[in-house]
Structure 1
Amino acid sequence: MGLHQAIVIGGGIGGLTAALALHRQGIPVRVHERAESLEPVGAGLALAPNALRSLDRLGVGARLRALAAPHPAVGLRHPSGRWLARLDTTAFEARFGDTIAAVARADVIAALVDALPEDTVRTGSPATLVTPGSATEPAVLRTADGEETADLVVAADGIRSATRALLFPRHPGPRYSGFTTWRAVVTPDRRPAAVGEVWGRGRLAGVVPLADGRVYVYGAALAPAGERAADGDERAELLRRFGDWCAPVPQLFALAEPERVLRHDVWDLADPLPAHHRGRVALLGDAAHAMCPFQGQGACQAIEDAVVLASLLAPAADPAAALPAYTAARLPRTTAVVAASRRIGDLVALRSPAATLLRDTALTLTGLLPARTLLNRSAATFNWQPPTLGGAG
């Protein structure tokens, strides 16, 4: 059975990348997004070399690199302002052959949509999997137009994926990490001199320059799941938690418009799925391997998923036969990245004076190592090479 139609559930970065990758393979594809628009949730995004190489395969990498604001060094500081570690970005680029491009999520969404044929994406169009299909039967979905069949379904329906729950009903699902996060984009009068993260006791803050003078700022802190600012003012909550930290953290948080501060609890799939597919359905991104944000790899791994999945398919391919190779390629890698992200979160979560002193001392000593030694620790993540796609720009 040839692949005549693919349907993607979810119009986030993972779903749109999958749609573009399938399109590059000559596979007809349609995206169903339940929201009324593709206005993205989230403020900024760090595209690491592994993701940028994948986006190059799709012909949009150069556009996104051009939107990134370069900065000569990044680092990690104590709330007092003392540097724990610093890294020259030229050393990073020399080691991995590329940069980390910090861009607005809206810019990534726009680049992907613009590269797709018109009318590929349907907004305000929820789609629900009914049956996953088999080697002899197509998958069945329920949409606003009624039931539809598909030779391939890509479920990019997020951390609360209804598709995942249907495919693997015994899986425990996402687990609360203990952290809540805040995100915002602000426009200061001048570019911040200190770029990177500040780690405190059970808290961190980050400063990432974007294009056009904007700055992406974020915070994370241990908090009960579901807790929110008593008066609904999350900017005030940020200043309460980070107001006495080193510049420019409190100054940038103070510039945020209260109604535009995004707050979300962090959940991850700490328990790996048994597979990333079943029948004719492939799980992708957060639906398959939601992770803590402390490595900045969530969207990057979803982009990798999309390119690998498409590389295993062609217009004459049978997804039911090809999808086991997708699981084999992606499950071990994403499981390792999820675990590594949680381990970093465990370090941020330390709160006792003795434990944080030990952590900060270790970070300072590590920061004294040669840059190549430090970068080699990230090689398994950043050196990943995407497969080639037919027709890629």
Structure 2
Amino acid sequence: MHAVVVGGGIGGLGAAIGLHRAGWTVTVLEQAPEFGDVGAGISLWPNALRCLDELGVDLGEHLAVQTQGGLRDRRGRWLARWDAAAFERHHGRPLTGIHRADLIAGLRDALPADRLRTGVKVTEVTEDGLVRFTGGELQADLVVAAEGIRSPIRHALFPACPEPVYCGSTAFRGIARPARIPGLSTSFDRGTEIGILPLTGGDVYWWVSYVTEPDARPADLKAYLKEHFGGWHDPIPELIDVTPPEALLHHDLYHLGTPLGTYVRGRVALLGDAAHAMPPFLGQGGCQALEDAVVLAHAVATEDTVQKALQTYDTERRPRSQRVAHASVRAGKAGPQLTNPVAIALRTTLARLLPAGLAARSGASISGWRPPRLPRPAPPRTP
């Protein structure tokens, strides 16, 4: 059986690994000239770590386990402290951070090199599994559409699906190497959050999101950030200052505002952002893509037809991923996107009064998810 995975991001590579473990021949088609995602980090919650375990991907020393942190205001006053030990007790695993490039590399290296093709633009995908691309075509028993929020395959096969909508915030991201490594933190102000996530190698991933109209593009990103956020608490000014200007990223935040009625069409399965793109306010976008990957591989390995496997995948993944996407929208509106002074004061008071044990349990209903078991590789034969 042959699967073609369109898109070499977190979800696409994860799906390819799972299908490969299930005994399928897999071809990954990536439009970029090489696999990689530089300039940013990502948080991996316990549900994602379990998926990586199931896929057999060991990220080892690239994972930065978070041991301290909390919520602060723009002046640096602590609103709530984060108990890492309690978090691990309630969630089953620690919260970790990783360079996106290291995550992609770890996933890529878990696949045979000859199954990966870069610089390939897919021009057409049909419901019966025909994939046309620059330089040729492939007939697949299964096509995985994992090409992101602007998925051309979703647009072609689900023409009635509305386009992604602006969630109300724009975001800046960067990776810095400050003189002193801070702990994990999220700081709030009116319509704004600034997050700090320590990575390995002395690096720190930071991001700013704030409520504004879409499509505003400052001519000088660093000057703009220093002007608007240089007065926040340490180490935020330093993080902005030591990030190379060419490494700064700026994106408006979009999501699929209208949930899809199905993630499958014929022999094609939508996966990750192509199926359920969500705002980043719960840190679950990549985590949900890995969940998709493991569930799809398990369905293919256990059902006797591709059609049944895709039906199982849709039945299991669509309700959960759409609940998480909806929760992410709500989290943004109740947190970093608040602009009403009364609501902001209430949020601040609640954060200060929230018991540390209760705060540590936050999100456990999402991160406590456990993946199905995938086939184990056969042990090597003894001579």
Q: So what's the TM-score if we normalise by structure 1?
A: 0.92
* Residues 335 and 294 (structure 1), Cα distance of their counterparts in 2 relative to 1, 3 Å cut: same
Query: What is the alpha-carbon distance in structure 1 between the residues aligned to residue 210 and residue 78 of structure 2?
Result: 20
How many residues were matched structurally?
Answer: 377
2:121 equivalent in structure 1: 126
Q: Find the residue that maps to 1:293 and give its secondary structure.
A: coil
- TM-superposition CA deviations, 1:258-314 (whole Å, max 9, x none): 111011111001211001111100100000000000100000000000000000113
Do structure 1's residue 382 and structure 2's residue 367 form an aligned pair?
yes
1:14 paired to 2:11: yes
Provide Cα deviations, 1:25-52, integer angstroms capped at 9, x if missing partner.
1110000001111131551011100000
Name 1:364's counterpart in structure 2: 352
Q: Which residue of 1 aligns with 2:263?
A: 276
* 8 Å CA contact retained: 1:128, 1:163: no
Structure 1 equivalent of residue 59 of structure 2:
64
Shift in Å, 1:370 = 4.5
Residue 392 (structure 1) shift: 5.5
Return the alpha-carbon distance in structure 1 between the equivalents of residues 371 and 303 of structure 2.
22
Q: Secondary structure of the residue that 1:295 maps to in structure 2?
A: coil
User: Quick one: which of 191, 197, 210 aligns to 1:202?
Assistant: 191
Q: Which amino acid aligns with 1:111?
A: G
Distance 2:181 2:207 in 1: 16
Q: Distance between the aligned counterparts of 1:266 and 1:36, measured in 2?
A: 25
Aligned to 1:103: 98
User: Equivalents in 2 of 1:211, 1:94: separation in Å?
Assistant: 23
Which whole-Å CA distance do the structure 2 matches of 1:119 and 1:234 have between them?
Answer: 40
Would you say 1:115 and 2:110 are equivalent positions?
yes
Partner of 1:92: 87
Match of 2:213 in 1: 224
Gaps of 5+ in 2: 379-383
**Contact 2:4/2:142 (8 A) holds in 1:** yes
Question: Structure 1 unaligned runs (5+)?
Answer: 134-138
Matched, 1:311 2:298: yes
1:142 maps to a residue whose letter is: R
Aligned-partner SS, 2:217: coil
Give the match for residue 43 of structure 1: 40
Residues 98 and 392 from structure 1, CA distance in 2 versus in 1: closer, same or farther, beyond 3 angstroms? Answer: farther
Cα deviation code 1:50-89 (max 9, x no counterpart) = 00001001111xx325322334322011101111111111
- Work out whether residues 35 and 124 of structure 1, in 8 Å CA contact, stay in contact via their aligned partners in 2: yes
* Cα-to-partner distance string for 1:124-174 (whole Å, 9 max, x where unaligned): 0112333112xxxxx111112333211000000100001111221111121
The secondary structure found in structure 1 opposite 2:42 is strand
The within-5 A match list for 1:231-270 is 231=219, 233-270=220-257
CA contact (8 A) 1:57 1:392 kept: no
What is the one-letter code of the residue matched to 2:21?
Answer: R
CA distance in 1, matches of 2:270, 2:316: 13
CA contact (8 A) 1:65 1:101 kept: no
Aligned match of 1:136:
none
Letter in 1 for 2:295: V
C-alpha distance in 2 between matches for 1:280 and 1:28: 15
The alignment's TM-score, normalised by the length of structure 2, stands at: 0.95
* Equivalent in 64, 70, 86 of residue 75 of structure 1: 70
Partner residue of 1:166? 156
Q: Contact conserved, 1:58 with 1:392, CA < 8 A, in 2?
A: no
Give 3-state SS (helix, strand or coil) of 2:113's partner. Answer: coil
User: How far, CA to CA, are the matches of 2:116 and 2:186 in structure 1?
Assistant: 36
Give the Cα separation in 2 of the matches to 1:392 and 1:238.
Answer: 49
Picking from 15, 18, 22, the partner of 1:25 is 22
Tell me whether 1:326 sits opposite 2:313 in the alignment: yes
Question: Which range is displaced more, 297-306 or 96-105?
Answer: 96-105
- Identity, % of aligned positions: 46
Question: 2:79, 2:351 within 8 Å by CA — same for their partners in 1?
Answer: yes
Tell me the secondary structure at the aligned position of residue 314 of structure 1.
helix
1:24–1:389 CA contact under 8 A, matched in 2: yes
3-state DSSP class of the match of 2:180?
coil
Measure the CA separation in 2 of the matches of 1:269 and 1:346: 16
Q: Is the aligned partner of 1:215 residue 2:204?
A: yes
Aligned to 1:339, which of 323, 326, 332?
326
| Kept in 2: contact 1:312–1:326 (CA 8 A) | yes
How far the C-alpha of 1:354 sits from its partner, in A, is 2.3
Structure 1 segments (4+ residues) deviating >6 Å? none
Counterpart-to-counterpart distance in 1, 2:136 and 2:199 = 43
1:301 and 2:288 aligned: yes
Q: In structure 1, give the amino acid aligned to 2:172.
A: W
Q: Distance in 1 between matches of 2:170 and 2:347?
A: 21
